[in-house]
């Protein structure tokens, strides 16, 4: 369905429509992921942290490394880690070199959960197979250019600095 029909709106320009379309599609895709993760009792931000930790496994990482790699820079990584630790999906300890630092690693339970989620997420992405690999490459290049255009205009954005 076309964006205009979906949200019952008109746009000032194709650029305006593109910006709204990116935001609307992002929320649409995030909602689908939310539905997949809900039975597992985790949020998409917690899922992102688990995936980051799986990528670093068996090594321990500190909170700042998690923040650096997170998709949603507005998330409170310390709070997310605490919630995941309460569920037994990650473990944490005081840093060996710096006692102010918290080291985090994924548990076997966390790895097992990610294995259970993986086929569901892969099935979710099958919806994108209506787009050819070449079209996907073009979309990726355009989205990279969108971010580059903002950086060229405004400079790098501190994604953690939001005044909501």
Q: pLDDT, tens digit, for every residue of 102-134?
A: 899 999 999 999 999 999 999 999 989 999 999
Q: pLDDT, tens digit, for every residue of 11-55?
A: 899 999 999 999 999 998 999 999 999 999 999 999 999 999 999
Q: pLDDT, tens digit, for every residue of 81-97?
A: 999 999 999 999 986 66
Domain spanning 9-127 has what CATH number? Answer: 1.10.10.10
Structure tokens, 156: 């790098």
Q: What are the extents of the domains in the chain? A: 9-127
Say if residue 7's pLDDT is above 50. Answer: yes
What is the SS3 assignment for the chain?
A: CCHHHHHCCCCCCHHHHHHHHHHHHHHHHHHHHHHHHHHHCCCHHHHHHHHHHHHHCCCCEEHHHHHHHCCCCCCCHHHHHHHHHHCCCEEEEECCCCCCCEEEEECHHHHHHHHHHHHHHHHHHHHHHHCCHHHHHHHHHHHHHHHHHHHHHHCCCCCCCCCC
């Amino acid at each position: 369905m076309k964006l205009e029909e979906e949200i019952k709106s008109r746009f000032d320009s194709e650029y305006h429509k593109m910006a709204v379309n990116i935001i609307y599609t992002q929320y649409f895709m995030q909602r689908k992921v939310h539905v997949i993760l809900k039975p597992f009792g985790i949020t998409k931000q917690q899922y992102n942290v688990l995936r980051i930790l799986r990528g670093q496994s068996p090594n321990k990482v500190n909170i700042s490394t998690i923040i650096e790699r997170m998709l949603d820079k507005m998330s409170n990584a310390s709070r997310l880690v605490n919630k995941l630790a309460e569920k037994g999906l990650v473990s944490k300890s005081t840093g060996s070199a710096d006692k102010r630092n918290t080291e985090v690693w994924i548990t076997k339970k966390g790895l097992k959960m990610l294995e259970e989620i993986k086929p569901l997420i892969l099935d979710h992405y099958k919806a994108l197979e209506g787009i050819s690999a070449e079209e996907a490459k073009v979309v990726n290049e355009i989205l990279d250019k969108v971010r580059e255009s903002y950086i060229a205009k405004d400079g790098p954005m501190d994604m953690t600095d939001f005044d909501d």
